[in-house]
């Protein structure tokens, strides 16, 4: 892992824009995630969350604007920037026919981690996530919750400074959802990892340090849950979120 630049936030996005033909998927999005911070990116389906994550992970290039991870510009210094990033995508990205161990080894090989170090890290993460006894099992035999644990373990093997969690609980049962949330909070306490957690579920945003509401490609508001409730005059974050997205939807109509 490349060390982050001193005094740089874990993640900084400045005026990121992306269009697909006439559709403006992102419209000048700016945000910053500080060290050890857990931030929820809350938005309805179609808000632009997936497009933003595709830009943050280097899959797409923004039409304009900049992305810095650990102080490194993703376009000018892609290797150190992406080396500080751990990613769990909404869509499963494990090879279902390979074993848990083989999936994890493939990741460490991609990152050029020497095998001796890689084996120690893989053993430690499998122990951390309760996967040791499943190490030789094909991923297709695992439950949805355990597959997510493998993906999270994989995301940590190169020791990232920030985790991007793209709707990570989609399709999981309530207990597995809660387990994933709790695990990410524990990782912050144990390792100081920052997290940007994308979701359309308000209850997952409730536990964040800050909430960023994204709607129709724009950041509507960001702040603590309490500030958002106070600003809208509503009683709960859920009602505040509905009011914000409804009011702006009406303005655009």
Kindly state whether residues 136 and 222 are assigned to the same domain. no
Kindly state whether residues 137 and 232 are assigned to the same domain. no
Kindly state whether residues 75 and 99 are assigned to the same domain. no
Q: 42-54 pLDDT, tens per residue?
A: 999 889 999 999 9
Q: What is the CATH number of the domain that holds 234?
A: 3.40.50.300
Please give, one letter per residue, the 3-state secondary structure of 145-178.
Answer: HHHHHHHHHHHHCCCCCEEEEECCCCCCCHHHHH
The answer to whether residues 98 and 141 touch, using CB atoms and an 8 Å cutoff, is no
**Is the confidence at residue 110, as pLDDT, over 50?**
yes
List Cβ neighbours of 166 (8 Å cut-off, separation of 6 or more): 49, 50, 53, 87, 88, 89, 90, 198
Domain range for residue 66?
Answer: 1-84+162-253
The answer to whether residues 26 and 17 touch, using CB atoms and an 8 Å cutoff, is yes
3-state secondary structure of 208: coil
Distance CA 74, CA 57 (A): 9
Distance CA 212, CA 28 (A): 14
C-beta atoms surrounding 15 within 10 Å:
13
Q: 159-195 pLDDT, tens per residue?
A: 999 999 999 998 899 999 999 999 999 999 999 999 9
The mean pLDDT of the chain is 92
Kindly state whether residues 55 and 145 are assigned to the same domain. no
Kindly state whether residues 249 and 178 are assigned to the same domain. yes
Q: Using pLDDT thresholds of 50, 70 and 90, give the confidence band for residue 132.
A: very high
Q: 211-238 pLDDT, tens per residue?
A: 999 999 999 999 999 999 999 999 999 9
Residue with tokens 């994308």: 198
Give the chain's domain count.
2
Residue after which a domain boundary falls, among 159, 180, 206? 159
**Is the confidence at residue 250, as pLDDT, over 80?**
no
Question: What values do phi and psi take at 48, rounded to 5?
Answer: 115, 5
pTM of full prediction above 0.75: yes
3-state secondary structure of 135: coil
**Is the confidence at residue 153, as pLDDT, over 60?**
yes
Going by the DSSP 8-state scheme, the letter that residue 188 receives in this structure is H
Kindly state whether residues 79 and 175 are assigned to the same domain. yes
Kindly state whether residues 28 and 129 are assigned to the same domain. no
Kindly state whether residues 48 and 166 are assigned to the same domain. yes
The answer to whether residues 51 and 26 touch, using CB atoms and an 8 Å cutoff, is yes
C-beta atoms surrounding 90 within 10 Å:
17
């Amino acid at each position: 892992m490349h060390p982050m630049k001193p005094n740089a936030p874990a993640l900084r996005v400045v005026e990121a824009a992306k269009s697909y033909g006439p559709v403006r998927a992102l419209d000048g999005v700016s945000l910053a995630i500080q060290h050890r911070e857990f931030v929820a990116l809350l938005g309805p389906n179609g808000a632009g969350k997936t497009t933003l994550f595709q830009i943050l992970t280097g899959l797409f290039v923004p039409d304009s604007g900049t992305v810095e991870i650990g102080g490194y510009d993703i376009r000018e210094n892609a290797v150190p920037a992406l080396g500080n990033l751990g990613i769990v995508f909404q869509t499963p990205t494990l090879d279902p026919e390979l074993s848990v161990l083989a999936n994890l080894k493939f990741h460490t090989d991609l990152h050029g981690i020497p095998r001796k170090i890689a084996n120690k890290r893989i053993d430690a993460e499998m122990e951390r996530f309760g996967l040791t006894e499943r190490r030789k099992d094909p991923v297709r035999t695992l439950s949805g919750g355990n597959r997510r644990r493998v993906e999270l373990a994989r995301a940590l093997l190169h020791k990232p400074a920030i985790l991007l969690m793209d709707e990570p609980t989609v399709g999981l049962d309530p207990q597995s959802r809660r387990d994933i949330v709790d695990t990410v909070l524990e990782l912050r306490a144990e390792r100081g990892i920052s997290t940007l957690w994308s979701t359309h579920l308000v209850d997952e945003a409730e536990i964040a340090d800050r909430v960023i509401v994204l709607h129709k490609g724009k950041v509507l508001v960001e702040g603590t849950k309490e500030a958002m409730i106070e600003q809208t005059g509503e009683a709960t974050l859920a009602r505040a979120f509905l009011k914000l997205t409804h009011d702006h939807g009406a303005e655009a109509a």
